[in-house]
Amino acid sequence: MTPLLQKAFERTIKLPQEKQDQFARFLLAELESDQRWAELFSRPESEDLLERLADEAIPS
């Protein structure tokens, strides 16, 4: 664990339980979102789609 993450958790444990749960939900949602985007962009068809979208956004 990095020192910054350690500091964040040390501050979080001092919060009321409701705020801790709110922070936990936020953090888990962010991690899940990052994972979903990574999975989507790792698909071969994603590269083709992004290329087509870029071509549409920046016409030749």
Per-residue model confidence as pLDDT tens digits over 3-59: 999 999 999 999 999 999 999 999 999 999 999 988 887 888 888 888 888 888 887
Distances in whole angstroms, Cα of residue 18 to Cα of each of 15, 21, 22, 23, 24: 8, 5, 6, 9, 10
Structural domain count, the chain: 1
Whole-number pLDDT of residue 18: 98
Whole-number pLDDT of residue 4: 98
Burial 16-55 (b: 16+ CB within 10 A, else e): eeeeeeeeeeeeeeeeeeeeeeeeeeeeeeeeeeeeeeee
| Global pTM value | 0.64
CB–CB of 32/43 below 8 Å? no
CB–CB of 20/12 below 8 Å? yes
Q: Domain residues for 46?
A: 3-57
